[in-house]
Structure 1
Amino acid sequence: GKLPFIFSVACVNGNFVNSTCFAEAWMRAEDNGQPAGAIATLMSTINQSWNPPMGGQDEMNDILTEAYSNNIKRTFAGISMNGCMKMNDEYGSDGNEMTDTWTVFGDPSLVIRTSIPQNMSVSHANELHLGETSMTLTCNANGAKAALTFNGEILGTAIVSGGSATITFDALTELGMADFVVSGYNYKPYITSIEILPELGPFMAIAGKVINDVPGGNGNGQMDYAEDILLTMSLTNIGVEAGYGITSILSSTSPYIEIIGDSASFGDLAVGDTVVVTDAYAFSVANNLPNMSLVPFTLTSTDQDGNEWVSNFMMPGHSAKLIFTGFSIDDAAGNNNGKLDAGETANISLSVKNTGSSEAYQVITQLVANNGYVTVNSDPLNYGDIAPGTTTTMSFNVTAAGDTPVGYIADFTVEALGNFELSMTDGFYTIIGQIPVLIVNMANVASADSMMICLQMLQVGGEVQDTLPSSLEIYTSVFVLLGSFPNNHVLTEDEGNILVTFLQNGGRVYMEGGDTWSADTLTALHPMFFIKGTEDGMDDLGTIVGDESNFLAGYSFEYNGFNSSVDHIVPYPGGKVLMSNVSPEYNTAISYENDIYKTVGAVFQFDGMTNQEGSTKEGMMAKILEFFGVSFTWTELDESAALNMGVVAYPNPFNDQVTFKLNLDEKSPVTLDVFDLTGRVVYSSGQKVMNPGPQKLVWNVQDTPPGIYTYRIKAGNTLITNKLVRVN
């Protein structure tokens, strides 16, 4: 029967966590044991807003009906995600939140149908022969894809154009049945089998091969980096006549292979005979062989009559690959708070993992302090041999100087070297003393990412957690994100009490929430902000400006956040209006300070503030940090510098590679660093001197999970920072 595909604008019908959701139930529905539900659905895990998803769905409909000749997408996820991208362009962060929580159920690569599928008319040869390298077909469906496969491997593909197509492939060397399929949009697939038959005369084919790496390697029978390998080869005659005086030559086009012994004699082979030559060939494998690369080889066989048979094959290459997976601090000999403090000596444990498929030998690891306040007391340590998939952890003793500033970000480099030129360089940082900022993202909102980007630009250390720690003593300030209805978190009494204790001990708290001041139940924390919620507002949050009597005077933002219906607030005596909505006029942020603590309470979401000329989120964050007494470094030149240098990161979001384009006015030293949201350096280009004019840097991503990252480009005295998103 026919099954529907669905693009749904609705609330929580795709919330698959902890229970079977509506989308899953529909996909799994059966009638008498046969599928009766949907073949694919796009449904949301949260309560959706109105305009953004409706706009996204409109775009999906336009793509589905092929309204754009330059944007043809026919897979379910291709249509869905392209619709989401249009929504993101039109609605900014509101669209992003919908994209983040709209989920594809079913096969994302499914090619959907928009009309009753027709039969294709296809003609082709009914058999193929050993040694052939192409196949021609005719078909009445232009644009259809034709594929020839054998034993589950694709031999070749082609696209039908002008009623015909030719599939090319390596010379056929095995007898059997090949599968032939032609598929087209809104056509029924054409599926058949084609027999591969022998030609006249003998035909030599590879029957098997065995790696011998006992004398020149580790003896595990696989092709590892830095090995000298002997290759045993078996040849069989699958032709219809005997072959005489067979000689075979081994070659490879791979830059990682050096053939040392390339020739072997197999003698005479009758029809159906197989001859094995032990250790027939010899070759060396380079030290820098990429892990799990498929290395091409060619075996060319000839007989005394001048017949020639060419067999191509691949062998997987195996190498070690070292990555730095993390660090921990043991300060049991100090104050035992799990951090490095000024004047303290502690042990930093570094974990190095071999993510390759071959062993890493005699790994030596060194910790280098890239700052003037921390001394590494330990010499480089011998991590020994690290087997594939295993992690080795060892500790380095370090001392922080007594005059290290509180909140100082101490950078470190981790260097590991192994036998056969194996190497790894990575980095991390830790904060000496109190961590300046903790962001508690209780509502899973985009403000956390936006704030972390600002902190990176301001060179301020920070952490993000989704729950409130029971103790906050290691933090200078806490930023609490409660979100807006319907995706808000209601602060509990226990959470409020933790923050009360923090403030009573001299803490600083920023708290934003669209409903926490009026609509939600108040806790013991709320009165400490000196904020009174007066009413639950309407959908009218627009232009937000800083109050002329407070530290955000002169700042002005257009609000483009998730929900513009927020609580209205006024200050109790002692509180000061910090920001207000212009029309209708009502307060949106209030600050308070006394001799012990300081607070900022807001009704908007930080990420919804759209940068204007002279008013940026990083500037706003800098002012809040200044009010809280948190040190930062800020030149206020990032946006103009990025514009002047033409800095662009593309594609963004990206998958396995991202390119950074920039234009230099003069010869400059350039460094690219990429950080995750914990502040760990996941990539560094090292310093490169670049000439004036257009330049580019490329990050080829490996072993870095999908997520949000911050890149920082330093060109001369200019520092540029922005966000990157890696997707699967």
Structure 2
Amino acid sequence: IYDPSGSDQQGVDAINDGRGIINYTGHGSVTSWGNGASLNINQVNNLENDWELPHVISVGCVNGSFENNTCFAEAWMRATNNNSGAPTGAVAFYASTVNQYWNQPMRAQDHAMDLLVGYDYSINQSIIQKHTIGGLWYNGSCNMMDVYGSSGIDMFLTWIIFGDASLVIRTNIPEPINVSHTGTLLIGTNTYSVSTGFSDALVALSDDGELLASGYTDASGSVTLELMNPPSEPSEITLTVTAYDRTTNIQPVTVIIPDGPYLIVNNVTTSTNDDSIIEYGESVSLSISIENLGVAPAEDISFILTTDDPYISIIDGEESINSIGVNQTITLENGFSIDISPNVPNDYDIDCHLEMNSNENTWDADFSLTAFAPVLSVNAI
């Protein structure tokens, strides 16, 4: 959209139609563009490109001058459709805080596009693509500084990225990832194989937000992940596969035992003289819930409670039951009792250990309790 025939409405229509990239070159102010589609903040606030957010490289004066009132770049980043409530405007905006030169930032703008498509530019080759906002705009600016020296550096120092520099930019409609894997991980196994059918897919296993392993698929489209800390009990972990211009694929992986029962401590509750709060000098009864996550019942089970804590005395530390079925939970109501020392510190963590034995199987579980005591202070004498 160029001068003199370009109009604001052409720009608004193009943006609302879902354009993904906007390269602007022209005059600018803190609140507007000045050429072609000379949009201002009010027009940006009225855009209707719901969830179809472009990234914008603006070669124009002071579009990013954010030190006083809301600048043009900030308006793009904050725009919202008042009717639908959906975000509009832009997902990222590269804008200057000062009056820009012409040639220098236009070189960076051109090179950022070269980097995005992996174009073999005759003078400044960019056959290796960059896929993130920061990678495109920073490396484009590096080319500007290489070509123009100190004047390019001046422009770089005052050109601001509004938005998330780590955001990955797509160049096509994303295709699905067809993931092949077993869907189960045996306890004691520290490797997991995944295939996608193409190379350079990033594959990761995580457990409740904690990364267990990650790696990229090779030329055959396969990767074998090595888990540094594999799960030690039955659970469900998450497999996530991402790749450029592909739709992220997230699937569950069930952690199972090879055979037999598998007991865990599901919950621990306490009761004292008049409440469930553990306090200095009290006798405490413990009710411990045991769950069988295995594939067979557990028979003739004994439980032994221990602790090395000097402030705790175990009064009743043993219990037994006949059996726990598969996926069954049994609570040992007031099955154990302990005494708390009168000298226990306030807000004190008590580490306990429960050993569970069933025929030839043994399971161990650790849990913590918290004891409270008064804290006295002298205000005056």
Distance 1:181 1:101 in 2: 38
Which aligned pairs between 1:55-94 and structure 2 lie closer than 5 A? 55-67=107-119, 71-94=128-151
Change (3 A) 1:57 1:268: farther
**Structure 1 residue 187: Cα displacement:** 1.0
Change (3 A) 1:88 1:306: farther
Is 2:212–2:230's contact at 8 Å kept on the other side of the alignment? no
Query: Match for 2:95: what amino acid?
Result: M
Is 1:246–1:304's contact at 8 Å kept on the other side of the alignment? no
Is 2:298–2:358's contact at 8 Å kept on the other side of the alignment? no
Q: Pick the structure with more strand per residue.
A: 1
Distance 1:247 1:307 in 2: 14
Distance 2:336 2:146 in 1: 64
3-state DSSP class of the match of 1:118?
A: coil
- Identify unmatched segments of 5+ residues in structure 2: 1-17, 19-51, 120-124, 269-287, 307-316, 339-352, 368-381
Aligned equivalent of 1:242? 298
Change (3 A) 1:131 1:51: same
Is 1:30–1:37's contact at 8 Å kept on the other side of the alignment? yes
**Which one of the candidate residues 54, 59, 80 is aligned to 1:4?**
54
Query: Match for 1:25: what amino acid?
Result: A
Distance 1:132 1:185 in 2: 30
Distance 1:137 1:73 in 2: 26
Change (3 A) 1:49 1:145: same
**Which one of the candidate residues 180, 198, 216 is aligned to 2:239?**
180
Distance 2:64 2:194 in 1: 44
Query: Match for 2:251: what amino acid?
Result: T
Distance 2:139 2:337 in 1: 56
- Identify unmatched segments of 5+ residues in structure 1: 210-232, 250-264, 280-298, 314-728
Aligned equivalent of 2:98? 46
Change (3 A) 1:27 1:302: same
Is 1:12–1:46's contact at 8 Å kept on the other side of the alignment? yes
3-state DSSP class of the match of 2:180?
A: strand
**Structure 1 residue 63: Cα displacement:** 1.8
**Structure 1 residue 304: Cα displacement:** 7.5
Is residue 226 of structure 2 the alignment partner of residue 168 of structure 1?
Answer: yes
Distance 2:330 2:64 in 1: 61
Aligned equivalent of 2:177? 120
**Which one of the candidate residues 247, 259, 264 is aligned to 1:200?**
259
Distance 2:89 2:319 in 1: 63
Is 1:171–1:310's contact at 8 Å kept on the other side of the alignment? no
Change (3 A) 1:176 1:10: same
3-state DSSP class of the match of 1:124?
A: coil
3-state DSSP class of the match of 1:16?
A: coil
Distance 1:69 1:178 in 2: 40
**Structure 1 residue 76: Cα displacement:** 0.8
| Aligned-residue CA RMSD (Å) | 4.2
Report which structure shows greater RCO (CA 8 Å, sep ≥6).
2
Is 1:247–1:266's contact at 8 Å kept on the other side of the alignment? yes
Distance 1:277 1:84 in 2: 68
Is 1:120–1:189's contact at 8 Å kept on the other side of the alignment? yes
Is 1:74–1:112's contact at 8 Å kept on the other side of the alignment? yes
Query: Match for 1:167: what amino acid?
Result: L
Aligned equivalent of 2:279? none
Distance 1:81 1:122 in 2: 34
Change (3 A) 1:238 1:90: same
Distance 1:71 1:108 in 2: 19
Which aligned pairs between 1:137-148 and structure 2 lie closer than 5 A? 137-148=194-205
3-state DSSP class of the match of 1:94?
A: helix
Post-superposition CA distance 1:635-689 (Å, at most 9, x none): xxxxxxxxxxxxxxxxxxxxxxxxxxxxxxxxxxxxxxxxxxxxxxxxxxxxxxx
**Structure 1 residue 185: Cα displacement:** 0.3
Is 1:40–1:107's contact at 8 Å kept on the other side of the alignment? yes
Change (3 A) 1:247 1:156: farther
Is 1:200–1:241's contact at 8 Å kept on the other side of the alignment? no
**Structure 1 residue 44: Cα displacement:** 1.2
Distance 1:138 1:91 in 2: 46
Change (3 A) 1:53 1:268: farther
Distance 2:127 2:107 in 1: 20
Which aligned pairs between 1:316-355 and structure 2 lie closer than 5 A? none
Is 1:52–1:95's contact at 8 Å kept on the other side of the alignment? yes
Aligned equivalent of 1:367? none
Query: Match for 2:113: what amino acid?
Result: N
Is 2:201–2:241's contact at 8 Å kept on the other side of the alignment? yes
Distance 1:109 1:312 in 2: 40
Is 2:115–2:127's contact at 8 Å kept on the other side of the alignment? no
Change (3 A) 1:310 1:142: farther
**Structure 1 residue 160: Cα displacement:** 1.8
Post-superposition CA distance 1:561-618 (Å, at most 9, x none): xxxxxxxxxxxxxxxxxxxxxxxxxxxxxxxxxxxxxxxxxxxxxxxxxxxxxxxxxx
Is residue 209 of structure 2 the alignment partner of residue 134 of structure 1?
Answer: no
Change (3 A) 1:154 1:132: same
**Structure 1 residue 135: Cα displacement:** 2.8
Distance 1:248 1:69 in 2: 66
3-state DSSP class of the match of 1:149?
A: strand
Post-superposition CA distance 1:348-383 (Å, at most 9, x none): xxxxxxxxxxxxxxxxxxxxxxxxxxxxxxxxxxxx
Which aligned pairs between 1:553-564 and structure 2 lie closer than 5 A? none
Distance 1:76 1:154 in 2: 25
Is 2:114–2:126's contact at 8 Å kept on the other side of the alignment? no
**Structure 1 residue 266: Cα displacement:** 8.5
How high is the TM-score relative to the length of structure 1?
Answer: 0.30
Aligned equivalent of 1:111? 168
Which aligned pairs between 1:503-514 and structure 2 lie closer than 5 A? none
Distance 1:241 1:168 in 2: 32
Post-superposition CA distance 1:437-492 (Å, at most 9, x none): xxxxxxxxxxxxxxxxxxxxxxxxxxxxxxxxxxxxxxxxxxxxxxxxxxxxxxxx
3-state DSSP class of the match of 2:69?
A: coil
Query: Match for 2:96: what amino acid?
Result: S
Change (3 A) 1:82 1:246: farther
3-state DSSP class of the match of 1:46?
A: coil
**Structure 1 residue 163: Cα displacement:** 1.6
**Structure 1 residue 126: Cα displacement:** 3.6
Change (3 A) 1:62 1:201: same
Aligned equivalent of 2:70? 20
- The count of aligned residue pairs is 257
3-state DSSP class of the match of 1:8?
A: strand
**Structure 1 residue 12: Cα displacement:** 0.9
**Structure 1 residue 137: Cα displacement:** 2.1
- % identical aligned pairs: 36
Query: Match for 1:184: what amino acid?
Result: A
Query: Match for 1:8: what amino acid?
Result: S
